[in-house]
Amino acid sequence: MKPIRMYDSQISGNCYKVRLLMSHLGISVERIEVSVAAREKRRELLGHMNPAAKIPVLEFDDDSFMAESNAILWFLAQNTIYLTDDPFQQARVLGWMFFEQNNLEANIATARWWLTVKNVGDDYRDHLALRHEAGHQALTTLEGHLADREFLVDNRYSIADISLYAYTHVAPEGGFSLADYPLVRTWIDRVQQQPGYVPMFDEA
């Protein structure tokens, strides 16, 4: 079962995680760019592949589909250097990926969506303040965890790092300064030095 196509968006961190891992693994697929802002017809386009009608969605050569960025990372990373085969460390990887969806993406991606993608920050001032408070708590947790390690789990670069990197490195687009998170900034640099690293936006 090989991935052949990805329903994707360049501005989406959830899609970027998958693109980044595929680049590390040397997997190339046809990319179908889907506008995240134009929501009409979304269900018609994606509903048969993902009941939540969201991207990323990966299509396989046997006509099956897979949604949820972290589930896709988990699947593609099997038997590669990007996922340990030790069940205890695997559970820690999963723990960080749940943290990413609940604490980090939920706040940073939403603030970024209002401020940078939709440009409606003024309409959402109260909501933004809550997202900023919770997002900073997530960044503080990440900073603390990086105090005595280079990567999130087992001192090796893994899909846990890829998952959290996606929205952390664009946090300033959501109004989050990273000035108070020097270890997070160094970790961002470290991720960018990994073989096969690609930036979020395609180079012209």
Told to check if 12 binds ligand GSH by CB under 6 A, we report yes
CA–CA distance from 144 to each of 57, 137, 139, 147 (Å)?
33, 11, 9, 5
Told to check if 54 binds ligand GSH by CB under 6 A, we report yes
Using the rule CB under 6 A, give the single segment among 20-28, 50-58, 146-154, 175-183 that binds ligand GSH: 50-58
Element (H, E) at 177: none
Starting at the edge strand found earlier in the chain, the sheet holding 30-33 runs 30-33, 3-8, 57-60, 65-67
How far is C-alpha 50 from the geometric centre of its chain's CA atoms? 18
Told to check if 42 binds ligand GSH by CB under 6 A, we report yes
Nearer to ligand GSH, 10 or 192 (CB): 10
Told to check if 36 binds ligand GSH by CB under 6 A, we report yes
> What is the C-alpha separation between 22 and 6, in angstroms, rounded?
11
Nearer to ligand GSH, 65 or 183 (CB): 65
One character per residue 71-110, x = contact with ligand GSH (rule: CB under 6 A): ------------------------------x---------
